[in-house]
Amino acid sequence: MQIEKVLAREVLDSRGRPTVEVEVTFGGHTGRSIVPSGASTGQFEAWELRDTADHWYDGTSVRTAVKHVNEILGPAILGLNAADQQSIDQRLIELDGTPNKSRLGANAILGVSLATAYAAAAGQRVRLDQHLHQVWRDVTRTQTSQEAGPPSIPLPMVNMISGGLHAGGNLDFQDFLAIPVGAPTYRVALEWIVRIYRHLGKLLNQAGFEGTLVGDEGGYGPKVTSPHAAAEFVVRAIEAAGLQPGSDVCLGLDVASTHFYENGVYHLVAGGQELNSAQMVDLLEDLVSKYPIISIEDGIADADWDGWRLLTDRLRTKVQLIGDDLFVTNHVRLQEGIKQDVANSVLVKVNQIGTISETMQTIRLALDNDYWPVISARSGETEDATIADLAVATGAGQIKIGSVARSERLAKYNQLLRLEEYLGDHGNYQGGKIFEHRLQRDA
Ligand code: PGA
Ligand code: ZN
């Protein structure tokens, strides 16, 4: 399986922004993958290389990243074994040589890393999830004495209402999500979610809000200004779908608070409030007391470690507290979080770190320290569904893809439907059971 050819090109993502696509070829097998891109990015993420001074696509072009694949990264991995993902990723990391992949671009490096996995799967005549599970076992063996768990279909947490940088400045919080904890299988979970989403659109329209147009991740973007009102709409939509809020379906939030935090103050523009860290934690605790919220992502900003400690002290037994901008899928930052005992969960985005191996290292570190990993898409996505296979291969337990609208989202939900069928036995789906014994919610 010696790599014979590596080819990159510029294609477009779901926002019509340029991104990197890479093809890796050997022995008549080609693997192809496209790199995603965020909007509410964390300051500690790996570097996305864009040609800001270039007129092509108004300064958003990735032509230099493409060139780096074609002229530097590609030639350097010719002849290497495509199935040896860890060695290839190591070579890519060394070629860049910077801590945040800023020399060659994390988008260039990730494109090669992902396409290599597809090529290796094709060469071995196995599915991508099967090959990635093998890589996962290898990573597990190099990192820990624990056994790699079996592949499993993850519990989806699904965006219903969008705000923040993903919609029109309507709401300060970025995502209001539905989590179908009571569904026995993934297929049933997805059917519930689609029903809730349709009812939510109707409820929003009936109340005179926008219940048709959607944000970057397919969630509705109504001009509802308070997080309480948005949560209330999702609860009512769950009931309208004939389901029980709190037992069948819970709520999640991605506050993405880094984006309204400045100099120690949380500026809630739509909500008309300026809060310090303690008041921000009070606001979140109030929401948790009123709605069946079991997951909060980036409730506190990435630079506010004291605020994170307070949030963790107050809510850790009731809520999954996910660090996204806080950890940026980075092994070193997650290790620091574990040491400081903040958060209890980590969001995992492949392009925040830039290779498959490093992504898996972070998932492994999380699992070994009882932090829940949640595999996540970006707000800028494509038809590439790799994260569905990654979530299954690592048995991470949870996935966050966006809403059940827009095909760049459905590409992943549909891939999970296929994998559920291929794996048999409902894809070893644990669903909401993963929260049992961890969260002590009032009934
Ligand atoms: P992003 O949003 O891709 O714009 O960062 C997703 C998230 O914050 O989880
Ligand atoms: Zn986030």
- The ligand 1 atom at the shortest distance from the C-alpha of residue 165 is 4
The verdict on the CB of residue 45 being under 6 Å from ligand 1 is no
345-155-12 Cα angle (round to 5): 85
CB proximity list for 409: less than 8 A, separation 6 or greater = 217, 218, 377, 381, 401, 402, 403
pLDDT at 443: 39
- In the reported structure, the alpha carbon of residue 45 is separated from the centroid of ligand 1 by a whole-number distance in angstroms of 12
- The answer, as to whether pTM is greater than 0.95, is yes
**Which ligand is nearest to the Cα of residue 352, counting in written order?**
1
Which residue in this structure is represented by tokens 């190099």? 142
H helix or E strand, kind and range, residue 345 = strand 345-348
Most informative mutation of 346, 379, 399 for ligand 1 (most atoms within 8 A of CB): 379
CA separation for the pair 248, 442 (Å, rounded): 15
Q: Which of 21, 23, 45, 217 is catalytic?
A: 217
- In the reported structure, the alpha carbon of residue 153 is separated from the centroid of ligand 2 by a whole-number distance in angstroms of 21
- In the reported structure, the alpha carbon of residue 379 is separated from the centroid of ligand 1 by a whole-number distance in angstroms of 5
User: Which residue, judged by its Cα, is nearest atom 1 of ligand 1?
Assistant: 38
CB proximity list for 410: less than 8 A, separation 6 or greater = 404
**Which ligand is nearest to the Cα of residue 38, counting in written order?**
1
In this structure, which topology does domain 5-125 adopt according to CATH?
Answer: Enolase-like; domain 1 (3.30.390)
pLDDT at 167: 87
Burial, 418: exposed, middle or buried (Cβ in 10 Å; 0-12, 13-18, 19+)?
middle
Residue type, 357: S
CB 190 within 8 A of CB 404: yes
- In the reported structure, the alpha carbon of residue 26 is separated from the centroid of ligand 2 by a whole-number distance in angstroms of 37
CB 106 within 8 A of CB 356: no
> Span 155-442: which CATH code?
3.20.20.120
CA separation for the pair 31, 1 (Å, rounded): 12
- In the reported structure, the alpha carbon of residue 390 is separated from the centroid of ligand 2 by a whole-number distance in angstroms of 19
**Which ligand is nearest to the Cα of residue 297, counting in written order?**
2
Does residue 217 carry a catalytic annotation? yes
The verdict on the CB of residue 40 being under 6 Å from ligand 1 is yes
Most informative mutation of 15, 174, 258 for ligand 1 (most atoms within 8 A of CB): 174
CB 72 within 8 A of CB 91: no
Per-residue pLDDT of the chain (443 residues; tens, 9 = 90+): 999 999 999 999 999 999 999 999 999 999 999 999 999 998 999 999 999 999 999 999 999 999 999 999 999 999 999 999 999 999 999 999 999 999 999 999 999 999 999 999 999 999 999 999 999 999 999 999 889 999 999 999 999 999 998 887 789 999 999 999 999 999 999 999 999 999 999 999 999 998 889 999 999 999 998 999 999 999 999 999 999 999 999 999 999 999 999 999 999 998 889 999 999 999 999 999 999 999 999 999 999 999 999 999 999 999 999 999 999 999 999 999 999 999 999 999 999 999 999 999 999 999 999 999 999 999 999 999 999 999 999 999 999 999 999 999 999 999 999 999 999 999 999 999 999 878 876 43
Going from N- to C-terminal start, the domains of the chain cover 5-125, 155-442
pLDDT at 441: 65
Does residue 5 carry a catalytic annotation? no
- The ligand 1 atom at the shortest distance from the C-alpha of residue 380 is 3
